[in-house]
Amino acid sequence: MNKNLTVIVLTYNEELHLARCLESVRTLASEIVVVDSFSTDKTQEIARTFGAKVTTHEFKNQADQFNWALDNVSLAGEWVLRLDADEYLLPELAEEIKARIDNVGSSKDHGSFDDQNIVGFYLRRRVIFMGRWIRHGGYYPTLILRLFRNGKGRSEVREMDEHIVVSEGQTQTFENDFVDENLRSLHWWTAKHNDFSTRETRERIKEEEEHMEIQEDPLGSQTERKRWWKMAVYMNLPLFWRAFGYFFYRYFLRLGFLDGKEGLIFHFLQGGWHQFLIDAKIYEQEKGQSYKAEEE
């Protein structure tokens, strides 16, 4: 264990995944904080068997829940690692993080944890869908800032597509992966993405008017490039057609078809159907507004 690292996991009825997640960080962190949204299964019991500090808070969205933990839970670690319950670290990544913390000042290639200019680290996300690693379609590796100095990072205040943003300093990237692998059924997955589409619809309507913490930059980090592509390109394409175009781009141009049958299901549902559903809900709102205007 290392006294420098606190792991924060947000949960709600995660007895299926939580032990796997916590086992992957058991030897890495001296403090595990589980922020639970009043689970009705064995989530809290499992968390306590791993020695986690369990606290409860009503869930609004991921960003709000994580920022609440940063503001209201006493965190002992100098560094904070944020994970979802259905995510886990590969042993190679756990060892990489541990080595960087244990050997302060020893890395010549990547800098060191005692370098105060380094305040955050990007981790490489590997998505496993229906038992298959989704390697293509531009989906791997997705770089996500998940490890940061305590007090230097917060989540963007967004309902969807939120990212941790550091207040100052520099960031670097680890070489190994963490895994996002949800073991629930496709019925659950599509219901979840239906809910996501409603929240994303609200975000896209707000994005036209509000300032975002992560800026759009075609030459910036992966996150900044994706934000630029979304706001400057995708959002300016016609409703509905952009969903078809995005699926075509991912599945054919970015070789998503190489991910097999599972890849076809994933890229079509996540890159096509989900985006089309968002556009349909935007269109529904636009029609609702016009009907209201006509009534007035």
Percentage of residues in the chain with pLDDT exceeding 90?
Answer: 74
Q: Cα angle vertex 105, ends 104, 109, to 5°?
A: 115
C-alpha closest to that of 34 among 14, 15, 53, 59:
53
Percentage of residues in the chain with pLDDT exceeding 70?
Answer: 87
pLDDT value, residue 221:
77
Half-sphere exposure of 227 (CA within 13 A, CB side): 18
Mean pLDDT of 279-295: 76
Instruction: Report the sign of the C-alpha dihedral through residues 95, 97, 102, 103, in that order.
Output: positive
Most confident segment among 155-164, 226-235, 271-280? 271-280
Three-state SS sequence of the chain: CCCCEEEEEEECCCCCCHHHHHHHHCCCCCEEEEEECCCCCCHHHHHHHCCCEEEECCCCCHHHHHHHHHHHCCCCCCEEEEEECCEEECHHHHHHHHHHHHCCCCCCCCCCCCCCCEEEEEEEEEEEECCEECCCCCCCCEEEEEEEECCCEEECCCCCCCCEEECCCEEEEEEEEEEEECCCCHHHHHHHHHHHHHHHHHHHHHHCCCCCCCCCCCCCCHHHHHHHHHHHHHHHCCCCHHHHHHHHHHHHHCCHHHHHHHHHHHHHHHHHHHHHHHHHHHHHHHHHHHHHHHHC
pLDDT higher than 50, residue 108: no
Q: Boundaries of CATH 3.90.550.10 in the chain?
A: 5-181
pLDDT value, residue 187:
98
pLDDT value, residue 185:
98
Two tokens, residue 247: 């699926």
Look at 121-130, 132-141, 156-165, 170-179 and tell me which has the smallest mean pLDDT.
156-165
pLDDT higher than 70, residue 130: yes
d(CA 180, CA 201): 24
Residue tagged 């009503």 (tokens):
58
135 CB-contact burial (10 Å; exposed 0-12 / middle 13-18 / buried 19+): middle
CATH for 5-181 is 3.90.550.10
87 CB-contact burial (10 Å; exposed 0-12 / middle 13-18 / buried 19+): buried
Half-sphere exposure of 212 (CA within 13 A, CB side): 24
pLDDT tens by residue, 195-244: 999 999 998 887 655 555 566 667 677 777 777 777 778 888 999 999 99
pTM, 2 dp: 0.89
Mean pLDDT estimate for the chain: 89
pLDDT higher than 70, residue 291: no
CB atoms within 10 A of CB 235: 12
d(CA 197, CA 210): 19
Residue tagged 């996991």 (tokens):
9
